Structure 1
Amino acid sequence: MEIYAGVDVGGTNIVCGLVTPSGEVVHQIKRATEVSKGPDAILEKIASMIEEAAAGFAGRSGAAVSVTAAGIGLPGFVDPEEGIARFAGNLGWRNLPAAQRLQARLNLPVYIDNDVRTYVFGEAMYGAGKGFKDVLGLTVGTGIASAMVNDGRLYYGYRNMAGELGHIVMEGLSDPCPCGLQGCLETYASASGMVRQAKKRIQSGEASILQEWYPGERLEDLAAADLSRAYDQGDPLARSVMEKAGTLLGRALSYAVPLYSPELIIVGGGGALAGDRLLEPLRKELYSRILPDYREGLRVATALNNDDAGVTGSAMYAKQRHAASV
């Protein structure tokens, strides 16, 4: 049977799935990335996981399984045409010919791309964006990034760098960003940025129920999910942090909408879990800053397949690339 492997590589975990040509995930496994072991070990783990997934699905289904092609979503800057991971900071990779090495190891076509692009591709084609032609997707997690899918095709731009929404410098923000700029959107509006802002305000003496939950040095354990929980209990600090983050996201998207003219914007990652706590201020700010002709028909939704979109997108990206190559 025809089957594609999709692999979503993160700094903490690697998720590998087998996906049918129609986009259905039929088998999935997850393993720790173990970044400290280096790129050779990670590439071998990816290859072994693809083989393990194929063997596991074959054993469960009783059918012979031969993977047609594999797609790998990698963090950082990726050259998909050359198959090179240009820079992945959280993996410690630079100019690594990942596709070539995996292809030699597995003896099957392997295609790589940035993990946010493959995630958005999966969600646009098989999730919340199914049936829409022009979809802008963003992930709100440790950082913020986006991708655009037009008529089933990803948009890349010069040097494959389109979509770095998190590094738009926003007026009124001044925190330094690891990228070298100051005041980037993701320093405040990412999941980690919201947590960092909440900690700063608590440490400066502002009252919050979060301080009761995480007194003293335990404040370091504060997570984005705690902000949502405190928001629901009416905590003014949590509400203020999340509403400002949503407003900033809406403002940044108001810059992107006139450039891309999407009919749907999908919010994924941890931001999807926050739901309307982020989306209400996001929509309010976005719609107040774009022309009525853009507002008409424009929808903003959370990801439908938040957990599987990276695997589905990577596999279906491989299917699309492979079909174009034969």
Structure 2
Amino acid sequence: MKYAAGVDVGGTNIVCGLLDERGNVLVKRKYPTAPEKGSRAILEGIAMTLEELREEAGIASKDVQVVGLGIPGLVDPEAGISRRAVNLQWHQVPVVAELVAMTGKPVFIDNDVRMYVYGEAIAGAGRGHDYVYGITIGTGLAAAFVQHGEMYYGNRFMAGEIGHVPIDHVNFACSCGRIGCLETFVSATGIARQAQTRIEQGEESMLREWFPDVKNIRASDVSRACLAGDSLSRDVLEQTGRTLGRALAWVVTILSPDAIVIGGGGALAGELIFEPMKQELNVRLLEDYRDHFVIKTAELNDDAGIIGSALWALHRHKQR
């Protein structure tokens, strides 16, 4: 049996796991990232954790074939470099070279959302489909496209940045420096911001009673208020879903996926967002597109990143 290590590196936490070649997680560990310690300390911690997990699982070192990492921000998977990861305070970090020296294993890196989507495409909600478009609704909005088990990168590995598509009716400032990016509206942050802004402008909501300081409102609170009958919260989630539906109509027309997989914390709102999203897609898509894809909720949850990273590393290693 062959095994692989999968690592999901986040700005807050790191998850390391050992998996078999079918994507089953054997052991895993989650711990704080501590970006203030610097990139080398983080990579040394990953190497040490993977060795501890190998011993815990009783797997011989020679049977661990590869190490795969999903890293936020801009990644050059061919050069093995993290070009820029703001939350990690990384810039031009030679991740692969350093981890190969620390572990003695072939190492493969990619963007964390691509690895999340790859995990879902191969071993999660997208398995059995040839063209899987996956999005994560979290602090931001990110996406990736997997076709016949291969990642679609585009020029300079930049494909999938749907969160930074400008939307006409959106006027929120984005962290990228522009105004009106999709993710400022369709994201957990965007949902909370919509509710906060409308309440500050004088609209009534039970959220005002729950939160004297509206800046403390989170997306989960908007969903909770909606289920309790709050009309403002219901409208926020409906507008979020419709805006996402308009954006996905472009995606479906351009890429023609046979499955769209939606994950991330913002997806926990479920049909409160998905129903208006589907309504918008039905209105905007030609029948030939509309009737030939399915929309699914991600299945692997927090394990998607380590599963995708491990399976992608095994796949890339076989191609060498």
Whole-angstrom distance in 2 between the partners of 1:67 and 1:280: 44
Aligned 8 A contact 2:219 2:266 in 1: no
Q: What does residue 253 of structure 1 align with?
A: 248
The answer to whether structure 1 residue 212 and structure 2 residue 198 are counterparts is no
Q: What does residue 64 of structure 1 align with?
A: 60
1:220: how far off?
3.2
Aligned 8 A contact 1:85 1:94 in 2: yes
Q: What does residue 139 of structure 1 align with?
A: 136
Aligned 8 A contact 1:116 1:147 in 2: yes
Q: What does residue 216 of structure 2 align with?
A: 221
Moved more, 260-269 or 204-213: 204-213
RMSD over aligned CA atoms reads 1.2
With structure 1 as the length reference, what TM-score do the two structures score?
0.95
The answer to whether structure 1 residue 284 and structure 2 residue 282 are counterparts is no
Q: What does residue 50 of structure 1 align with?
A: 50
Aligned 8 A contact 2:54 2:60 in 1: no
Q: What does residue 317 of structure 2 align with?
A: 322
Whole-angstrom distance in 2 between the partners of 1:209 and 1:41: 46
The answer to whether structure 1 residue 23 and structure 2 residue 23 are counterparts is yes
1:247-276, Cα deviation, whole Å (9 max, x unpaired): 111111111111110011011111331111
The answer to whether structure 1 residue 189 and structure 2 residue 186 are counterparts is yes
Whole-angstrom distance in 1 between the partners of 2:219 and 2:3: 36
Moved more, 311-320 or 172-181: 172-181
Match of 1:241 among 226, 236, 241: 236
Whole-angstrom distance in 1 between the partners of 2:222 and 2:57: 39
Whole-angstrom distance in 1 between the partners of 2:315 and 2:135: 22
The answer to whether structure 1 residue 78 and structure 2 residue 75 are counterparts is yes
1:136-181, Cα deviation, whole Å (9 max, x unpaired): 0000101111100101111000000000000000011121211122
The answer to whether structure 1 residue 100 and structure 2 residue 97 are counterparts is yes
Which secondary structure does the structure 1 equivalent of 2:181 belong to? coil
1:221: how far off?
2.9
Q: What does residue 120 of structure 2 align with?
A: 123
Q: In the alignment, residue 227 of structure 1 is paired with which amino acid? A: V
Aligned 8 A contact 1:271 1:278 in 2: no
Which secondary structure does the structure 1 equivalent of 2:280 belong to? helix
Whole-angstrom distance in 2 between the partners of 1:223 and 1:50: 35
1:93-135, Cα deviation, whole Å (9 max, x unpaired): 1111111111111110110000000000000110000111111
Aligned 8 A contact 1:272 1:306 in 2: no
Q: Paired residues, what number? A: 319
Q: What does residue 111 of structure 2 align with?
A: 114
Q: What does residue 309 of structure 1 align with?
A: 304
Whole-angstrom distance in 2 between the partners of 1:247 and 1:18: 39
Gaps of 5+ in 1: none
Work out the percentage of aligned pairs sharing the same amino acid.
Answer: 50
Summarize the alignment of residues 159-198 of structure 1 with structure 2, pairs less than 5 Å apart: 159-198=156-195
Whole-angstrom distance in 2 between the partners of 1:215 and 1:70: 48
Q: What does residue 8 of structure 1 align with?
A: 8
Moved more, 37-46 or 77-86: 37-46
Which secondary structure does the structure 1 equivalent of 2:156 belong to? helix
1:212: how far off?
1.9
Which secondary structure does the structure 1 equivalent of 2:144 belong to? strand
Which secondary structure does the structure 1 equivalent of 2:241 belong to? helix
Match of 1:148 among 145, 154, 169: 145
Q: What does residue 40 of structure 1 align with?
A: 40
Q: Which runs of 4+ in 1 moved over 3 A?
A: 63-66
Aligned 8 A contact 2:134 2:145 in 1: yes
Which secondary structure does the structure 1 equivalent of 2:46 belong to? helix
Q: What does residue 158 of structure 1 align with?
A: 155
Aligned 8 A contact 2:135 2:144 in 1: yes
Summarize the alignment of residues 288-299 of structure 1 with structure 2, pairs less than 5 Å apart: 288-299=283-294
Which secondary structure does the structure 1 equivalent of 2:6 belong to? strand
Moved more, 252-261 or 219-228: 219-228
With structure 2 as the length reference, what TM-score do the two structures score?
0.97
